[in-house]
Amino acid sequence: MTLLRLLIIALAVWLLVIAVKRWLSPRPGTGSHAQPPNNADMVRCAQCGLHVPKSEALSRDGLHYCSQQHLDQHRP
């Protein structure tokens, strides 16, 4: 009976450790959109007003655009 009790206690401790590890670990895929780093410079699209990271924006004549389509649509 003592061995059975020891095995049950060991199993309970093991399950508790696994539960705590899962609770403390970050969950992959919880964000549906990738977030730019906090220090990324953001610019506003001259066509639609969407803010995008400067590294991903298309630029012409000092204006920034979120896509090639908006760059083409906003030709003066």
pLDDT by 10s per residue, the chain, length 76: 799 999 999 999 999 999 999 988 877 665 556 665 666 789 999 989 999 999 899 988 889 999 999 988 876 5
14 conformational bin, left if phi > 0, alpha if psi -120 to 50, beta if neither: alpha
Does 49 map to a domain?
A: yes
Does 32 map to a domain?
A: no
Q: What is the pLDDT of residue 73?
A: 86
Does 69 map to a domain?
A: yes
Contact 8, 14 (CB under 8 A): no
Does 14 map to a domain?
A: yes
Radius of gyration of the chain measured on its C-alpha atoms: 26
Beta-bridged to residue 65, according to DSSP, are 58
**Domain interval for residue 45:** 2-26+40-73
| Alpha-carbon span 69 to 66, nearest angstrom | 8
Total number of domains constituting the chain: 1
Does 21 map to a domain?
A: yes
Does 34 map to a domain?
A: no
